């Protein structure tokens, strides 16, 4: 069925009440910010995954750990992810060993703390803005529902001045109110899907980082002994 001009989306939004228009603008702004973070997080997680794959290939190729550390700390590129954890742990390990007289357990405890601190910083960077996506996904439908309720309330209030209410009188008000719910779902659905997907990807990377820290700690402990 083809909409008449009076019931077109543009006309309904333009003639909606100030509250409903404010709700729509808020939801559209939240949706645009969500998509900005979605694209940014997609490329950031993909880059972190590629860097982890590349570094694991180099680490387990049997090369010299000192040479690998020199490349990571040379400043020619900024280490990130697994490489950053390796750099922090190996730097602390070498520093504690040079002190002399330090027990192996103390050396390994300091090394693990340094790697865990680097791990937390890398994980925080990967999880940045995920809370915003979760908030948009959970709150947007309720904001849209508020606009809908407000619009329907105004639609029925306008009927008090009409002698005989018909569908033609109430349809525009209800239609503009339902648009707020549609915009709320438009903002919420991509944010929820992206949050669930990115949370899963970050958890998988975190598990890889933790496994690497355990394996690297075992290697360093054998060297220290």
DSSP for 155-167, please give it.
HHHHGGG-SS--H
pLDDT at 206 over 70: yes
Overall pTM > 0.75: yes
Q: How far apart are CA 172 and CA 9, in angstroms?
A: 10
Task: Give the model's pLDDT for residue 163.
Answer: 56
1 — pLDDT class (breaks 50, 70, 90): very low
Q: How many CB atoms lie within 10 A of CB 224?
A: 16
Residue linked to tokens 């008449």: 4
Q: What are 29-47's pLDDT values in tens digits?
A: 999 999 999 999 999 999 9
Quick: pLDDT tens for 114-145: 999 999 999 999 999 999 999 999 999 999 99
pLDDT, one tens digit per residue, over 65-105 is: 888 888 877 767 777 889 999 999 989 988 888 877 668 88
CA 110, 114, 120, 123 torsion: positive or negative? negative
């Amino acid at each position: 069925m083809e909409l008449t001009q009076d019931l077109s989306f543009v006309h309904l939004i333009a003639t909606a009440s100030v509250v409903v228009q404010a709700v729509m603008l808020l939801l559209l702004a939240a949706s645009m910010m969500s998509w900005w973070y979605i694209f940014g997080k997609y490329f950031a997680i993909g880059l972190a995954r590629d860097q982890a794959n590349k570094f694991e290939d180099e680490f387990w190729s049997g090369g010299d750990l000192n040479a690998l550390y020199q490349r990571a700390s040379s400043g020619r590129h900024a280490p990130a992810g697994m490489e950053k954890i390796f750099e922090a742990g190996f730097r602390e390990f070498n520093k504690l060993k040079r002190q002399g007289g330090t027990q192996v357990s103390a050396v390994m405890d300091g090394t693990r703390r340094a790697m865990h601190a680097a791990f937390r910083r890398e994980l925080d960077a990967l999880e940045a803005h995920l809370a915003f996506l979760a908030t948009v996904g959970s709150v947007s439908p309720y904001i849209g529902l508020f606009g809908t309720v407000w619009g329907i309330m105004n639609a029925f209030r306008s009927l008090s001045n009409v002698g005989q209410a018909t569908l033609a009188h109430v349809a525009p008000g209800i239609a503009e109110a339902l648009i707020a719910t549609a915009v709320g779902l438009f903002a919420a659905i991509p944010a929820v899907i992206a949050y669930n997907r990115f949370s899963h990807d970050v958890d998988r990377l975190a598990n890889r980082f933790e496994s690497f820290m355990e394996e690297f700690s075992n290697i360093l402990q054998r060297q220290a002994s």
